[in-house]
Amino acid sequence: MQVKDILETLEIAPRPGDDAERELAREVTGGYASDLLSDVMGHAREGQVWITLQTHKNVVAIASLKELAAVVLVKNREPDEDTAAAARAEGIPVLTTPLDAFEAGGRLYRLLRGA
């Protein structure tokens, strides 16, 4: 499954961008939900979609370091300006869903595990 295949389920409107197509083709292997960046740094795994309400620029650094597939910001949160710039530079899709973390995680789980 690729990042573009989760957009509809999570009610995400993709942001237009130069590399949007390539970014949205990143492979999704699972999900991780946490708002403590120290926890994500220690425990998230490559290919996961990270569900969070943190919008700080460090989110992109950690997503890039851990080779996560995408970051999904919940409850219509928009990335800080420098976060969005870093995301473009690193090629990490930072997406916004209107759903809260419970609903987004539930829908993603069902989509990935087919449960």
Partner 1 sequence: MKADLHVHTLLSPCGDIDMTPRDIILKARERGIGLVAITDHNSTRQAPLVQELGRAAGVTVLAGAEVTTREEVHCVVLLPGEGERREFQRFLDERLPDVPNDPERFGYQVVIDERDDVIHEEPRLLISALDSGIEEVEAFAHRLGGLFIPAHVDKPRDSILSQLGFVPPELVCDALELSRHADLPALLSAHPFLGRYPLLRSSDAHYLAEVGAAYTELPLGRDPSFPDIRAAIRAASP
User: Where on the chain is the footprint of partner 1 (CB under 8 A)?
Assistant: 35-41, 54, 56-58, 61-62, 80
Q: Please report the DSSP string for 5-57 in residue order.
A: GGTTTTT--PPP-TTHHHHHT-B--EEEE-S-HHHHHHH--TTEEEEES--ST
Total residue length of the chain: 115
Nearest distance, CB of residue 41 and partner 1, angstroms: 5
Nearest distance, CB of residue 35 and partner 1, angstroms: 8
Residue type, 77: R
* Nearer to partner 1 among residue 1 and residue 41 (C-beta): 41
Nearest distance, CB of residue 23 and partner 1, angstroms: 22
